[in-house]
Chain A
Amino acid sequence: VASLYPSWSNAVYRLAIAGLALGAVGAVVGPMVYVRTPYNTSQLVAWDQPVEFDHRHHVRDDGIECLYCHSSAETAPTAGVPTTAVCMGCHLQVWSDSPLLEPVRRSYFSGQPIRWRRVHNLPDFVYFHHGVHVQRGVPCERCHGDVGRMARVVQVAPLTMGWCLDCHRSPETRIAGGTLPGSMWGATVDMVAERPEGQAAVSSLTTCSACHR
């Protein structure tokens, strides 16, 4: 037998068994880790957009508030990319002949929409309502990061279900005012906790049908 199995074969077999065990664990844990990586959640991907729009200039240089352009974020389910008419409201006056704005002008005068690329993309089986979050005092930056410092907008948060539930389970600690630099909302714990009698607490919205219908 010794001639068939040299002494190092024991080590090989031990390694192989350990490898199999690790592999079995890895087959389960690996995908679980993978789906949480920024690569899988499309975080920090800076897409080229049809218009070279720079949030830094509009937010920081011009001091335009988020809701000036993304006005439906306050009331509607989607924040909405502003209509071409909103862009042209200013740009008929300023930089009205800038070559960078050629696609915007083309859209405005032809009635054909600009095809932007979606950065924050939730799965179709999730129903998220922007309006209710804004109305209840969640600052934009809490989920979107400091867009005012982004040349091209990237997705900062993972937007996974666990990430949603982190806030919904303890909104007091997650959405405290001033925890984020440059919050133009100054949201406080009170704003989130304030609710009329007879209304379910924020935490009750961890129920499945709050988002999945």
Chain B
Amino acid sequence: MSDIAPVSGRRHGWLRDLRRIVFFTAKRLLALFVTVMIGVYLTIVIANMGGQVDELRELQIRMTISEEVRADPSFMQMPSEERNELIEEQVQMEIQRRNLDQPFFLRSIDYLNQAMRLDLGRAEEMHSDTGARDVYDIIVERLPATLLLFGTANLLVFFVSVYAALWLSRRYGSRADRAVIALAPSSAAPAWFYGIFLILFFGFLAPILPPGGMVDIPPPEGRWAYSLSVLQHMILPVTAMFLSSIFISIYSWRTFFLIHSSEDYVEMARAKGLPSSLIQSRYILRPTLSPIITSFALMLIGLWSGAIILEQVFNWPGLGTLLFQAIGFRDTPVIIGGVVVFAYLLAVTVFMLDILYAILDPRVRIEGGRS
């Protein structure tokens, strides 16, 4: 439409597009916020279905108070019955102070409010490396490790598979093509599964790579030595993730590109004698960009949860290992906090997908986000 409009109109149109994208984004943000709220609320309800969370809290309060009273020298002389009464009284006061005697609905609203503000409470057993007991600190401290590992692996898989698929779609039926089809079922196994074998081969049978962890112990001095050590530790987990999803993604992209490269307009371009690189970038890649982005985001969503076990297998100090340790300690606040943070991460992924859509898909701009 900008071709027909005069110059001033073109700028106007651009502004209007921007306005519509902002409007669309704001709407999606609101919708996602509500979605996250429902999701977090559901998490709380599931966690507290049998009253576990309440019980846990009451138990914690009782233990702290009785320990305080027993340790206080001014209560030492008191007869034990009187002292127990005092403990009971203080426990009841604390329960009232924390609104734990209200009906579940009111309590859950309180929990929800806290969870949405990422005020995830204090851990029971665990603490962060800096010694903090807040669940939020514990989780945030682990995020960069997870992001580093999964960001690298995802980007690698994504770009390699799209380019390999483009290459294969031009060589339909060749030996390489058939090999990829034959190898595609190998992706039925998750990354941690390949991880076990990689550790076996490269960690123990031919020990050339570290079998686990994120840096050498003790961590090497100097920024370069440190990064090098981290890189070395990343090779095996990234390879595991790469192996587990590369063939299926090449396969599905290849099929996708095959379907699209048989469209009439592509045939037409070919008939015109355009060079194949131009056909690839302008006639195949550009119209298929939004499905490509969608699938990338969906892959991210899928890999977030796959992270837990892979990290545990490779002893990578990320969110997954944290959750695993929390299971070991039965540290409920950390587990619930982990679920909430995962929900947030997924929501952020969906949100970024939406924004990219708004930028890439002209329909969103034209219809002003009505679609």
A binds B: no
| A residues in contact (CB < 8 Å) with B | none
